Amino acid sequence: MNSFFVFKKLNANYIYIREDSHYTDDLKKREFTWNGRRGICLFLETIIDEEKLEKTFFSNLETDSQSEESELKKKISATEVSEIQHINQVSNELHKGMAAVFLEEKSEAYVFDVKKTTERSVQEPENEKIVRGSHDGFVETLMTNLQLLRRRIEVQDLVIKYHAVGTETKTRIALVYLASIANPTIVKEVEEKVKSISIDMVFSPGAIEEFLENDTISPFPQMLNTERPDRVMANLIDGRIAILTDGDPTALVCPSSFFTFYQSPDDYNSRFLVGTFYRLLRMVSFLIAIFVPAIYIATVSFHFEVIPADLVLPVKSSVERIPYPPIVEAILMELTIELIREAGIRLPSPIGQTIGIVGGLVIGDAVVQAGLVSNIMIIVVAITAIASFVVPSFEMSSALRVIRFPFMFFAASFGYFGIMFCFTLLLIHLCRLESFGSPYFSPLAPLTWQDLKDSVIRAPMKKMNERPKATLPRKKFRQAIRKGRRKW
Amino acid sequence: MVTNNKELISPLQFIFIIIQTQIGVGILSLPYMIYESGAKTDAWISMLLVGGIIQLIILLYWVLTNWFPTSPFYGLLSKVYGKLFGRALTIGYTVYFIFVSSLVLILFNFVIEIWAFPRTPSWAFNLMMCILAYYLVVDKLRVIGRFHTLVSVLLLTIIFLTLPAYPYMDIRYIMPIGDSGILNIVKGGKEALLSILGFEVILFLFPFVEGSKKKKLAAASIANVIVTVFYTYLTLICLLFFSPEEIKLIPEPVLYLLKAFTFPVLERVDIVFLAIWIMSVVTSLMSYVYLASVGLADVFSVKHHKKTVPFIIGSSFVIALIPRNSISIASWSEIITNIGLIFVIGIPVLTVLYICIFKREKVDQDANKSR
C-alpha cells in the first residue's frame, strides 16, 4: 500500500478519505475556521460521541480568543492527541472511533479519541452467581473490564498488554498478569501464541481458547472461562494470566488446572469447614456424573450379584418388565435430559420453565408408566444430571456430560472392567494433559502436597500461605507471617 | 537416552513406579504359590526373606549405576562389553521384556476368564490393556511417573478391603513358626522372588531420577520395603484366614478371602476388587512396555522411544493371543520368569564382577569425566 502524506488542500484530504472508505455514508465533515484559516474535522458519525466531540474540540475553538498565535493542537482537550502525517493511516484511525482535524496549509492531521461507548451496566453474571461476595461482573467493553481489575489490584505490578487479533476485525485483546508473580516463560509463551493467531475474526473467547490451548481434541477445557472480576483477580495473584477480549464479557485464565474449575469464590467466603464440604461435594459430583449411570448399567447387565440381597427384589422387579437392555434405557433417558436442557437454554425463561416441567415431570412419569424405562433408571439419570450441573464452570460441566457416554457404552459391553478401562484412560489423559507447561491434573498428578490445600479441600486462610506450584510463580509465599503465627 | 529424555522424575515418582511395577498380576495368587512351593505356613517368612534379598540386589544395582552416573543401563552395557555384545544384550533384554508384557496379558486374561467373563474372547481385554499401555507409554517418563503415583491410592483400598477378615483370623494356622524348615522357606523364597519380579525397573531408571545418589538409593529401598510389607501382609492375612487344608485348594486366595464377606451396600467385594486390580496389572504392563521400547529405541538408535512403542505393544499382543490352557500357562510363566532371573540378577552380577576384575581403572576415569 503506497502511502500519501496529508495534503495541504483540505478538499483533497476529504476526497481521499472518502474514496479510501469506499464512500461510506456515515463519514461526515464539519468545517471551521481558526485564526482565519479554514479547517475540517472528519469523523464517522456512527461510532463517535457528538457531545464528546463538541466538548473536546469545537467548544474550545469558540471560547478562546483567536488572536493569539498558538497551536491548534492545544485546543483539543483529549488525553491523547496524535499528529499523523500519512493520510491512509488517518482513515484507519477514523474507523476506530477517532476524529481527525485538518488545517489548511498544514501537512499534519490531529487525531483524537471521541468514541461513543454503549455499555451494559456492570451486573452479576447470570451463569456464575454466588451467594456472598462481590456482585459485579465483566461487561462487553474491554476498558470497563480492565478498570474492574485495576480497581481490585492497585499496584504497578499489574501489567496489561494489548494485541490486535483478527485480520478483518482487529479486535483488541488484553493480556493481564502480575509481573512480580507470573512466571515469565509462561507469559512469553502465551504472548507468542496470541501473536501467532491468524484468523479473520475473533468471534468469541472460545475461538481464542482453541488457538492457545495445547490439546484441542481433549474434552476438558484448558482455560478457565469466567465473567467474575474477583475470580480473575484471585487467579492473577496465584500467578496466572488472564486474557480479555473487547466485545466479550468472558475472561480466559491460563494456565489452569482441573481443580481451578472446581473453585468458586463462595468457598472462600464461607467458613473453612463449610467451604471444604462444598469443595468435596463438587468432587463427588464429578465422580457421580461420570460413574453412576455406568455403574448402574454394568451392575444390572453383568454383575447382579454385587447388589445386596435386600435390594435385589426391588431392582429386579423394576427392571424385569422393561423390554430393552439397560444401555438403551440409559441412552434414551440421557438423550431426553440433554434435549430438555438444550431446548430450555435458549428459550425465554417462562417458556424454559414450562419445558422443564413438561420434559422432566411429564415425560419422566409417562415413560415409566409406558414401561419403556425403569424407575431406577429415572432416578439414576436425574441424579447424574443434577450432579453434572454442580460444577461451577459451564465448560467443565459440558465436558462431564460428554465423557459419561463412553463410560456407559463400555459398561454395557464389559461391565465393571469396561468402566475401569474408561477411567484409566481418563486418568492417563488427565496426567498427560498440560496447560502452558503446567500439568493439568496437578496437584494430584504430579502429587504436590502443599497444593492439595486449595484444590480438593479449602484449608483455613492462614494455612494457605504458599501459592500453587503448578503455575511456577516467582513469589512463593502469600503471607508475610510464616506458618500461621498470628501477631496479636 | 539421557539427552532425549531430559525430563527427570522425582524420587517420589520413582518409588511409585517401582511399587506399581512390582505389584501386578501376581498379587492374587502369591500366597498360594509360596505355600505350594513347600514353605507352607511359613510363606510369610519367605516373603520377608525375599525382601532382604531384593535389598541386596538394589545395592548391587546402585553400585553398578554409580560407576556410570549419566548413562542408562542399555548404554552402560555397550560401554562395558563393547558395541556388538552390548547391543546383543540389549536385544536380549528387549525380547525378555516383550515376553514379560505378554505374560502379564496372559495371566490377566486367565484370571478374568475364570472370575468374571468366561465367554468374552481374550483379544478384547488384551486390546483394551494394550490401548491403555500405548496411550501412556508414548509420553514422557515423567508422565508415567505421574500416573503411577496417582493410581497408587488404589493400593490402600486393597488393604481396606481386607479389614473385615480380622475377626475370623486364627493365629494357630501359622503355628509353629518355622515348621517347614529352612530349606523349604528358601524354596518358597524363590517362588516369591518370581512373583515380585519388576524391581529390575530400578536398574533402568536410576539415571533418570532427580537428587543425590543417596536419595536415589533411599527411594529404591523405601519402595522395596513398601512392596515387601504389602506382600507379606497379604500373605499373612491369607494364611491366618484360611486353614492350611483350605489354602491348598484355592489358587487365588486373595479373591476367595474377599468373596467371603458381604457389606450392607456391596454383596460381592471380589468383583469390585478385580476391577481395581486391573489398575495394578496395567501399570506393570506399562512399565515393561516402556523398558522394552526404550531398549528397542536403543538398538535402532531411534531418538525417542515413542516410535518403538507400537512394535512392542503389537508383538506382545500377538504373543498373548496364542491359545493356551492352564497347564501350558503355568509352564510358560515358569520359563519366562526363570529366564528373567538371568536378566534381572545374573547379568547385573556378572557385569559388576567383570568391571571389578577387568575394567576398574577405565570405569573410574569415566565416572570422573562425567562428573
Task: Give A264-307 as a DSSP string.
Answer: -HHHHHS-HHHHHHHHHHHHHHHHHHHHHHHHHHHHHHT-GGGS
Residue with cell 522372588: B193
How many other CB atoms are there within 10 angstroms of residue A405's CB atom?
Answer: 18
Q: pLDDT tens, B207-250?
A: 888 888 889 999 999 999 999 999 999 888 888 888 888 888 88
Partner B contacted by A217 (CB < 8 A) = no
Cell of B156: 490402600
CATH code for position B311: 1.20.1740.10
The strand pair at A251-254 and A224-226 is best described as antiparallel
Residue with cell 474377599: B258
8 Å CB contact of A432 and B139 = yes
* Residue pair A412/A325 in contact by the 8 Å Cβ criterion: yes
| pLDDT above 70 for A484 | no
How many other CB atoms are there within 10 angstroms of residue A21's CB atom?
Answer: 17
Residue type, A230: D
8 Å CB contact of B143 and A415 = no
List the beta bridge partners of residue A477. A466
Of B149, B264, B265, the CB nearest to A446: B149
How many other CB atoms are there within 10 angstroms of residue A440's CB atom?
Answer: 25
Q: Which residues of B touch A432 (CB under 8 A)?
A: 135-136, 139, 143
Of A416, A425, A446, the CB nearest to B275: A416
* Domain range for B164: 5-370
Partner B contacted by A432 (CB < 8 A) = yes
Of B131, B147, B267, the CB nearest to A306: B267
Which residue numbers in chain B have pLDDT < 70?
1-6, 359-371
Is the ipTM beyond the 0.95 threshold?
no
Partner B contacted by A409 (CB < 8 A) = no
Within 13 A of A6's CA, how many CA atoms are on the CB side? 21
Of B146, B276, B279, the CB nearest to A439: B146
8 Å CB contact of A306 and B278 = no
Q: pLDDT tens, A282-303?
A: 999 999 999 999 999 999 888 8
Give the gap in angstroms from C-alpha B289 to the nearest C-alpha of chain A: 15
The per-residue pLDDT of chain A, averaged, comes to 85
Count each helix (H run) and each strand (E run) in chain A, helices first.
16, 12
Give the gap in angstroms from C-alpha B13 to the nearest C-alpha of chain A: 8
Q: pLDDT tens, B307-345?
A: 899 999 999 999 988 877 878 888 888 888 888 888 888
Count how many domains chain B has: 1
* Residue pair A443/A451 in contact by the 8 Å Cβ criterion: yes
Domain ranges of chain A: 10-113, 142-256, 268-439
Residue with cell 441424579: A383
Partner B contacted by A424 (CB < 8 A) = yes
Residue type, A6: V
pLDDT at B5: 45
Give CA torsion, residues A85, A90, A92, A94, to 10 deg.
160
pLDDT at A481: 61
* Nearest residue on chain A to B112, alpha-carbon basis: A417
How much of chain B is helix, strand and coil, in % rounded to 5? 80, 0, 20
